[in-house]
Amino acid sequence: MNALNVWRYSSTSRRSFHLKRNSDVDPFFEPNERVFEKEYDFIVCSEVAEHFHTPGREFEKLRDLLRPGGFMGVMTCFLGENIDFAGWRYRRDPTHVVFYRERTFQILAERQGWELCIPYVNVVFMTRALSA
């Protein structure tokens, strides 16, 4: 199984997000552009999606790296219906530029052709269709 862990974000990266595979590369001091030349069975995107300045394009890039039938796991703090946005601690981080609701991921999955599963609050699993 070929897995990819999306783990750091930098708005200065020409790829917009940094990728790390098997904990063997530091994208700030030892970038590894070769990760963009492969396809992956599983992609983990934990506490990174809220940093995407162009989330539609970023998720499209991730989809293109995911093999048909592959899985992507995303963890981010959902903007729930009962959250007071002005006082919400998550929005106070100046690097958090986009926030997601369950409906956001439903729309994203529809547009990307993914099967969606939200087993817990703040956790999303998406499967790329075999024919996509």
d(CA 89, CA 109): 27
pLDDT higher than 60, residue 30: no
Residue 131: the pLDDT is 76
Rg, the chain, Cα only: 15
Question: Which domains are assigned to the chain?
Answer: 3-128 (3.40.50.150)
Coil vs helix vs strand at 107: helix
DSSP state of 78: B
User: Is 15's pLDDT higher than 60?
Assistant: no
Over residues 111-129, mean pLDDT:
94
Cβ(26)–Cβ(52) below 8 Å:
no
Question: What is the DSSP code string of 50-88?
Answer: GG-SSHHHHHHHHHHHEEEEEEEEEE--B--TT--GGG-
pLDDT at residue 20 greater than cutoff 80: no
Dump pLDDT digits (tens) for 38-59. 888 998 888 889 988 889 988 9
Put the strands of the sheet holding 123-128 in their side by side order.
Answer: 17-20, 3-9, 40-46, 66-75, 123-128, 114-120
Q: Which amino acid is at 57?
A: R
Yes or no: say if 54 and 48 are a contact pair by the CB < 8 Å rule: no
53 contacts: CB under 8 Å, gap ≥ 6: 11, 16, 97, 98
Stretch 18-44: mean pLDDT: 63
- Determine the average pLDDT of the residues in 96-121: 94
Say whether pLDDT at 62 is over 80.
Answer: yes
Which residue would you say has higher pLDDT here, 42 or 8? Answer: 42
Rounded Cα distance, 77 and 89, in Å: 10
